[in-house]
Amino acid sequence: MLEKFERIKLGHFPTPIEHLKNISKYLGGPNIFIKRDDCTGLATGGNKTRKLEFLIPDAIKNKAELVVTVGAVQSNHARQTAAACTLMGLKCLIILEQRLKDPPEAYMKSGNVFLDKLFGADVKICPKNEDVLEYSEKLIKNLKSKGTNVYFIPGGGSNSVGALGYVECLNEIIKDNKKYNITQIIHATGSSGTQAGLLAGKKYFNCNIPVIGICVRHKKDTQVDKVYNETKKTCEKLQCKILDKSDVIVYDEYIGSGYGEPTEGMIEATNLLAKKEAILLDPVYSGKAFAGLIDLVRKKKFTKNDNILFIHTGGAVSLSAYEWAF
């Protein structure tokens, strides 16, 4: 369906859907299924693989010598971008923003940060007194002045090119839905590209399944605006109808004290999935998103006849950097 857009194969698709029988029984609510986008293959897997399958060929089309991207210190997007670049013979510069108040040394050096360097990326930490985008712009301007052809990928790979990956993800879900009869889709929403792709896909494929984002960084109004604006751009790229803003559903009660900061709900959710389903969540995105799902089930937001699909966006690599939180 998306053949008109340039794409390279980086991952293993379609990803499987599994029934979380033990968790469903434990919570006593709806049937809960999980789409294993943590198993996409590239650099231990994750949702950014889908986005990079469209972003990297765009970089190559633009004759890029160097791909520059930004993210938080334990960015899953940064890790997968570094891996995709090394696979395709592109140089990669990653600019990381330190968002935690007082992180331990392991947070700054292990997990994704270690893998960024292992995949050959040049890693820079944005100074605390500078805005990461302004800092990036200065570095890119300097690189361009020296004749380097730079391709910039925004944080999370979230733009109308990257969002195409989650238009395709929704297509996979629709194809599987005769078997599962999914009534709601739930996932973590941060930089907005994943939710924007799913929502644009709803319009493109004429699908009516509600898509619910659990915020991991921004409050509701800000996140709705971000997702709606990105969805609109993606719909324009697809040349399909633009969704109503009221179709953007997010919950912001599960962020805690800030992006990447551990919460009791995240710790409970991560422990439950590990001990009952042998599935590893991550502390920043999927852990908080599944904590939101658990709370919504406990609050009777779903019926026992509902079939909830949770999209696991990956990121378990960062668990080693968060051992102190558990």
- For residue range 239-296, list pLDDT tens digits in order: 999 999 999 999 999 999 999 999 999 999 999 999 999 999 999 999 999 999 999 9
Looking at the chain, the domain(s) classified CATH 3.40.50.1100 span 17-45+160-325, 48-157
Residues 6+ apart with CB under 8 A from 177: 209
How many angstroms separate the CA atoms of 312 and 8, rounded? 22
Mean pLDDT of 104-132: 96
Mean pLDDT, residues 294-305 taken together: 97
- Token pair listed for 194: 């994943």
pTM of the complete model: 0.97
pLDDT at 1 over 80: no
- Total residues found in the chain within this entry: 326
CATH of domain 48-157: 3.40.50.1100
Instruction: For residues 236-241, give the mean pLDDT.
Output: 97
CA distance 54 to 157: 10
The domain over range 17-45+160-325 is classified in CATH as 3.40.50.300: no
**Is 75 noted as a catalytic residue in this protein?**
yes
pLDDT of residue 55: 98
Three-class secondary structure assignment of 123-185? EEECCCCCCHHHHHHHHHHHHHHCCCCEEEECHHHCCCCCCHHHHHHHHHHHHHHHHHCCCEE
d(CA 145, CA 312): 41
Which of 24, 75, 158, 318 is the catalytic position?
75
Residue 262 is predicted with a pLDDT of: 97
From residue 258, give the alpha-carbon distance in Å to each of 13, 101, 170, 216, 293: 33, 9, 29, 8, 19
